[in-house]
Structure 1
């Protein structure tokens, strides 16, 4: 059997899907690296929503996907940008997601960390620094009350309001003093969210790095680690070498994660990655080989996945969530391809078709026949007759 897939410039080509998936068994916790998958949310396809209305989430399917990740030994990074924070998922629903996922993690013994931001505020310079701080504090309290570790996310409101590095030092200093447990600091680059341009007080990344490190140096006991999402492997390596002893660097680089996790003679990165949503079982198996000291086999397993990741995270990078949800549908983790905010329309049909081809080639679909039937149905809706 073949699938007719669309070419970007027009026309179609025949693709022969795999008939057998990879064998990827569930397993216990990973030991050599701390690994979080930033997980997507499953929309409720029956909700009568419209653009700008509150997100409608299928809670059963959303929590089932998190149990899937935990069953493979991965941690869940909840309510992050992969869950469409600021792109369809509003704060009231994000708060509910945090509470439900944290309770589920406690019930099954899963590791969880949750995003703390300021998205209850309107983005723009109309907010005061006190309002930004108060918004962060509200979300921090929700995460800590739920029993989860906090990830201090980059704030659009702070980026719009701050006058320079001193404002970042002030806000983050106050938040870290209040945190009851060590947090993960998140540096999300503008390729993921253009509103974060100039974060840490400068568009010069060298200057921004110095401010970021100054925040850490002032409160080393309150920082478990940092998540760096700049898609610049060299900058991440240089930054992690300057961290205090024992502080983790969680790579958020969806282009260079195999080499960054494998590390070098000076150290390595842990992981907090959106690409580990579709790659969860395979990523877990790769890290288990690393747990045994077999770095070569780790790279053999993970290196071939980079082409898929680079495709999903291609510019405009912030729309990578569409490909992530497509693959979850094709893999049978949810019954439909719809997203909160209607974001399923954010990528072209050739882009989605190529994502299917790359994922199928890796053996990511537990039931290749189901994935084939579903991609054919999607293509038919778009007018590509099979």
Structure 2
């Protein structure tokens, strides 16, 4: 089957030959894998809701929870209410808490399902933050709400803290308070400013080495309260450096959507087991879940060559989805879910389906197919042709 698509530079059209689904078998629900792997899951907007999408947040709960069951069914965990779910970018705190509550309830029906939920300060408007105490109270409010539901915390980076902190000592003070109160070990979260410009200078410095040292100091002060730290700096060398600085038992959860394959496989360096490889908490695992699950199953079975064989074609796709401006990556994630029939529309919270161009989406379609990730080629072609027609492009499909 062939489909006419816009070229990558948008200058013309070219026929593309569909290759079809990849030959890999995902893991099963509850299957024990050699790496802990969270997929930061997206939310499905309610396209029929009578709301103003730039202002109001309406969620299709059935489709949103069905997607999480799909991820659990492949042995992946869910990192809930994170930036992939448009947290702070259309998804507000009351809706986030409802999402967390519904997901915790849904996880109880899936054997072996695991879930951790984003705890932040996003109900505190950045401009309204006047002090570090404001930030502490905001974290405490969300912590209490999530823990009351029985949820595990991912302590998200705070825009408000980035605004009011005067230096590393303020970060140490905030995280000391948060970690000392946590009921169980948490996952810390360091999102680079390529994902969110408001987080520039997090941990009190724009120098990565200095910021990293502050984060490690926070962890060293409360090692029993930290399960791990997820960093998204898109710099594999910095991640490896920090991984080797962590105290025994504290995991590095890679958030590097450019270099995840080699970071998860690891380099085997270090006497401490958790220094030798990264676990995963990745937005791209939402879009490439079948390949990610199958690759992790192969790695668990000791077949590292097969692990890389499956994931290698997904890396160009991921780099395209996460290309600058990186914060718009969520559009590509939702586009993939629509192409593959996991939601019946390409509409996003906040109207963010408009953040990427038609040539960008056409190239994403090609790369997804080359990675074997168009699960139902006929459906994907039909939907791509519909999108092209909506943009005034006569999509020619031949068999």
Change (3 A) 1:292 1:23: closer
Equivalent of residue 30 in structure 1, options 21, 32, 50: 32
Cα contact 1:125–1:161 (8 A) shared by 2:
no
Q: 1:250 aligns with which of 239, 250, 253?
A: 253
Structure 1 vs Structure 2 CA RMSD: 1.2
Shift of 1:30: 3.4
Distance 1:271 1:19, change over 3 A: closer
TM-score normalised per structure 2: 0.94
Match for 1:322 among 313, 316, 331?
331
Matched residues in 2 for 1:30 and 1:74: separation? 10
Counterpart CA distance in 2 for 1:98 and 1:374 is: 31
Q: CA–CA distance in 1 between the matches of 2:26 and 2:219?
A: 38
Tell me the SS of whatever aligns to 1:108: coil
2:13 paired residue number? 12
Distance change (3 Å), C-alpha of 1:23 and 1:293: closer
CA shift in 2, pair 1:19/1:270, >3 Å: closer
- Do residues 209 (structure 1) and 212 (structure 2) align? yes
2:228 pairs with 215, 221, 225, which one?
225
SS for the counterpart of 1:89 is: coil
- Alpha-carbon offset, residue 95 of structure 1: 0.7
Q: Is the CA contact (8 Å cut-off) linking 2:26 and 2:293 kept in structure 1? A: no
Q: Tell me by how many angstroms 1:293 deviates.
A: 1.4
4+ aligned runs moved over 4 Å, structure 1: none
Segments of structure 1 that go 5 or more residues without pairing to the other structure are: none
Alignment equivalent of 2:368, drawn from 329, 340, 359: 359
Deviation string, structure 1 residues 70-99 (Cα, Å, up to 9, x no partner) = 000000000000000111101110110010
Q: Which stretch shows the higher mean deviation, 14-23 or 91-100?
A: 14-23
Count of residue pairs brought into register by the alignment: 386
* 1:1-386 equivalence runs, <5 A: 1-7=1-7, 8-27=9-28, 28-109=30-111, 110-124=113-127, 126-266=129-269, 267-386=276-395
Is the partner of 1:276 in helix, strand or coil? helix
Check conservation: 2:2, 2:15, Cα contact below 8 A. yes
What SS is found at the alignment partner of 2:127? coil
Secondary structure of residue in 1 paired with 2:107: helix
3-state DSSP class of the match of 1:272? strand
SS at match of 1:124: helix
Following the alignment from structure 1 to structure 2, what is the Cα–Cα distance between the partners of residues 253 and 25?
22
Contact 1:331 1:366 (8 Å CA) reproduced? yes
**How has the CA–CA distance of structure 1 residues 254 and 103 changed in structure 2, closer, same or farther, with 3 Å as cutoff?**
same
For the residues of structure 1 that align with 2:200 and 2:26, how far apart are their CA atoms?
41
Q: Secondary structure at the match of 1:255?
A: coil
Distance 1:158 1:304, change over 3 A: same
Which deviates further from its counterpart, 356-365 or 373-382? 356-365
Whole-angstrom CA distance in 2 between matches of 1:373 and 1:199: 44
